[in-house]
Structure 1
Amino acid sequence: MQRQGSIGGSAAIRLRATGVVLLVAHLVFVAWVTLRPRDVPWVMPTNLHPFAGIRADLRLGWPEAARRIGEGLALLAPLGVLLPLVHGRLRVSPAASLIRTVAAGALLSLGIELLQTGVPGQVADVDSLLLNTAGVALAHAAVVPAARVWLRRRSERRVRAAVPEEASQGRTPRIPRVGIAP
């Protein structure tokens, strides 16, 4: 049985399956980037003060600050698109979708930061959590609503093309009047 508001047909199954494959590939890449041990002579202390690392990055100057902040935003940003793609619903509240996706991205980022405490050379940073979550939110807000509108219009055009005009209206059924039984 199909959920109400979800994409129907074999194209939807292929689209969702592609989303699952891309999501798994992205998560493997993120795990490789963030959880592999690094051989460094010394490690910065853990940053538990929000925006302290971002302020320090901004003091480095324009190109270096943009690179570091951009990396933080871009690391989990694809989740903002891939998670709704895997979910596969076209008719859903935009606010609920954004909240669900951002919450999932924040929890995944928190899990990564907690796992990094046990990896040599990797340090937990609250600013990474904030930037990763903001990247998920920005990607979702930039792509998902427009993609859902496009897919809804496309599916409505296909339905209208498949059903002739008079068949969509249908005839009014006539029910014969039945008298009261004696």
Structure 2
Amino acid sequence: MLVINIYMIVGFITLCWIITRLVVFLLTKKLNILRELQLILVYICIVVISRMVLLPLHLVNGHLGTIVFDASRILPFWMNLKPFTFVNDFYDGWKTNVIGNIAMFIPVGIVWPFCFKKLNTIGKSILAGGGFSLSIEIFQLLFFDHCSDVDDLILNTTGVVIGSLIYFGIKKAADKKK
């Protein structure tokens, strides 16, 4: 059993980020400080979403809560594969969950196409953001107290769609002005 806190999550993401950026530097032999500063936006998206998804939103004894990895309790996976259960299954906080899942991924739809030039269409941006959301849902299968939910995937991807529409709408308006 491993109890995971916010510092461990941020530390792991930061370590992976640094290693990735070092590998890119070693392969390209280029360091563009402006590009690295731009990519910090992606890093922030990943850290904030990881915090929101993995840890309880409420404080536990005045502190951020933790998650527990216990290999003996992973199976059976806890998941919902029936779409739109939130429409029928109203529970305390369902509105916050719906709005939060959408709002949390709007920045992904804006930041990722801004930072990654290959995400040059709304479709590519949505596919990348939806893939990110899917990877989070799969990752949650490792934690017995988390549920992987197709509704979260739908809502998160809806947030990416909204963010992409905002980004590409602004980009189109800016291109028209030129």
Identity, in percent, stands at 23
Instruction: For 1:25 and 1:65, locate their aligned partners in 2 and report how far apart those are by CA, in whole Å.
Output: 26
Separation in 2, partners of 1:121, 1:33 = 15
TM-score by length of 1: 0.60
Distance 1:145 1:111, change over 3 A: same
Distance 2:139 2:91 in 1: 28
Structure 1: gaps of 5 or more residues: 1-12, 40-44, 157-182
Higher relative contact order (CA 8 A, sep 6+): 1
Matched, 1:19 2:19: no
Task: Show structure 1 runs of 4+ deviating over 6 A.
Answer: none
Contact 1:116 1:124 in 2 (8 A): yes
Matches within 5 A, 1:1-182: 14=34, 16-36=35-55, 37-38=66-67, 45-56=78-89, 59-60=90-91, 64-88=93-117, 97-150=121-174, 152=175, 156=178
* 1:35 and 1:115 in contact (8 A); partners too: no
Q: CA RMSD in A?
A: 2.7
Deviation track 1:151-177 (CA, whole Å, cap 9, x = no partner) reads: x356x4xxxxxxxxxxxxxxxxxxxxx
TM-score computed with the length of structure 2 as normaliser: 0.61
Q: Which has the larger radius of gyration?
A: 1
Report the Cα offset of residue 50 of structure 1.
0.7
The structure carrying a bigger strand percent of its residues is 2
* Unmatched tracts of structure 2, length 5 or more: 1-32, 56-65, 69-77
